[in-house]
Amino acid sequence: MDTILVANAGSSSVKFEVFGVNQPGGLSSQLEGKIEGVGTKPDLTAVSAEGKVLVERTYTNENVPHVPAALHTVGAWLRDELHIHPIAVGHRVVHGGPEFDQPVLVTEEVLRRLERYIPLAPLHQPHNLEPIRSIMVNRPGLPQVACFDTAFHRKHPAVADYYAIPEHFHAEGVRRYGFHGLSYEYIAARLLEVAPGIARKKVIVAHLGSGASMCALKDGQSIESTMGFTALDGLPMGTRAGQIDPGVVLYLIEQKGVSPAEVQHLLYYDCGLKGLSGISNDMRELEASGDARAAFAIGYFVYRIALFTGTLAAALGGLDAFVFTAGIGENSPSLRARVASKLSWLGVKLDEAANSGRKQLISAPESGVAVYVIPTDEELMIARHTLALVRPSI
């Protein structure tokens, strides 16, 4: 069976999934895994689609010193021990800038253009691109496809895309992009199966994880998002601040003497739930804590979700459905209940048993807005795009 490898590289880890290509062009997950602790204590783990442990292995830093080496290690394990030889590799790339509004086969020129967007996503972009470059050098004949978190939002109306700054900055690429697009694209497609009567209506999707954002869908298309020029904007996240007055940044630089590099580190790594609670960026730890600061951080997160729901509902001109997805959205019934309570003014009413029972539809029959919990699958979305580009006739 032909296979496609999907890679999602971070600063010290590589998540991966192998999909089998079924006839007539369907995809099925064969295995998934990760190699994490790169630079400290690299560990490779993977399980089959049935949940069988395939590997649990620790490496030395000398053998896996960086992320490209980690992906090389994964590739060698797949080839040498499982005899898997993918026909292509699909990569999640956070930022496609103003020019990439569709997945693309990677060439040297494409890679050079994508490197220009590293300053717009410094937490993600360089780590997304490193493995692509490595495979290009070591496996030059293997097709690679870049799939962008920004692409799904590129059809926003101009009024949602612009900042109120001089036009020449917009022309240079200073505009609102939106992120988590692969997740939203998957949810939009999944809604056609789960709730076809709702899928083409006015829907807000809340992608709530360590990175968090919200998206307004109309007729299955993104028309507005809480994230903007970078993945810092909008909701507070695990360690990112979310929406903040630009004057705060100016104050830190001009009055407190904080360097731009230090401000960048602060906003990406030391804010959000971690900064508010002083305890953790992990919602599970915060929900289990009895500390008042943890409770405040959760309450703040819920409050901002409710505020942005009002904003996105205004952009849509109403609201027919609300979807929770990603790690927190899929796994925290208590947070979903608190958000729903804040949205009662929109007519939202939860079915408590359905919410706590891990059901897909969790709103009560009398609710004015349908509320769903739909697990996202960005890897499958990447595999679909990759297959479409390398096997366009399928």
Strand partners, 105: 145
Q: Which residue type sits at 242?
A: G
- b/e burial code for range 348-361 (CB count within 10 A of at least 16 → b): bbbbeebbeeeeeb
What is the sign of the dihedral through the CA atoms of 32, 97, 227 and 385?
A: negative
Determine the Cα–Cα distance for residues 263 and 256; give it in Å rounded to an integer. 11
Question: CA dist 295 to 112, 212, 335, Å?
Answer: 45, 18, 11
155: DSSP letter: T
Cis peptide before 392 (omega within 30 of 0): no
Q: H helices then E strands: how many in the chain?
A: 16, 13
Question: CA dist 98 to 120, 151, 386, Å?
Answer: 12, 9, 21
290: DSSP letter: -
3-state DSSP call for residue 113? Answer: helix
Among 71, 68, 6, 8, residue whose Cα is nearest residue 390: 6
* DSSP assignments along 150-187, one per residue: SGGGTT--HHHH--SS-HHHHHTT-S-----HHHHHHH
Question: CA dist 348 to 171, 367, 370, Å?
Answer: 41, 5, 7
Determine the Cα–Cα distance for residues 390 and 19; give it in Å rounded to an integer. 14
- Helix, strand, coil percent content, the chain, rounded in steps of 5: 40, 20, 35
Determine the Cα–Cα distance for residues 5 and 382; give it in Å rounded to an integer. 10
The residues, any chain, with a CB within 8 Å of residue 167's CB and separated by 6 or more, are none
Structure tokens at 4: 């496609």
Among the options 2, 43, 149, 219, which is catalytic? Answer: 149
Q: Is there a catalytic annotation at residue 149? A: yes
- For residues 269 and 282, is the Cβ–Cβ distance under 8 A? no
Task: Report, as residue numbers or ranges, the catalytic residues.
Answer: 149
